[in-house]
Amino acid sequence: MATLEIKNIHVSVEEKQILKGVDLTVRSGEIHAIMGPNGTGKSTLASALMGNPKYEVTEGKVTLDNENILDMEVDERARAGLFLAMQYPAEVPGVTNSDFMRQAMRATTGKDVNLIDFAMSYEGAIKDLKMREDLAHRYLNEGFSGGERKRNEILQLKMLKPKFAILDEIDSGLDVDALRIVGHSVSDMIKEDQFGVILITHYQRILDYIKPTHVHIMIDGKIVLTGGQELIAKIDQSGYDWVREELGIDFEEKEANQ
CA distance 165 to 197: 5
Burial of 57 (0-12, 13-18, 19+ CB in 10 A): middle
**Contact yes or no for 33/225 (Cβ under 8 A):** no
Q: Going by C-beta distance under 8 Å and a sequence separation of 6 or more, which residues neighbour residue 117?
A: none
Is 244 part of a structural domain of the chain? yes
Mean pLDDT of 37-53: 93
255: pLDDT confidence band, cut at 50, 70 and 90?
very low
Asked if residue 140 belongs to a domain, the reply is: no
Q: What is the pLDDT of residue 250?
A: 64
Question: What range does the domain containing 251 cover?
Answer: 3-89+162-256
| CATH number for the domain that contains residue 48 | 3.40.50.300
Q: Is residue 143 part of a domain?
A: no
Give the pLDDT score at 258: 42
Confidence of residue 101 (pLDDT cuts 50, 70, 90): very high
**Model's pTM, two decimal places?**
0.91
Residue 142 located in a structural domain = no
Number of structural domains the chain divides into: 1
77 found inside a domain? yes
The per-residue pLDDT for 125 is 94
User: Is the residue at 107 inside a domain?
Assistant: no
- Kindly state the helix (H) or strand (E) to which residue 62 belongs, with its residue range: strand 55-64
Is residue 95 situated within a structural domain?
no
pLDDT tens track for 127-172: 999 999 999 999 999 999 888 998 999 999 999 999 999 999 988 8
Q: Do the bridges between strand 139-140 and strand 92-96 make them parallel or antiparallel, or are there none, so unpaired?
A: antiparallel
Is residue 146 within 8 Å of 175, Cβ to Cβ?
Answer: no
3-state SS string for 156-188:
HHHHHCCCEEEEECCCCCCCHHHHHHHHHHHHH
Q: Please check whether residue 232 lies inside any domain of the structure.
A: yes
Backbone angles phi, psi at 11, to 5 degrees: -130, 135
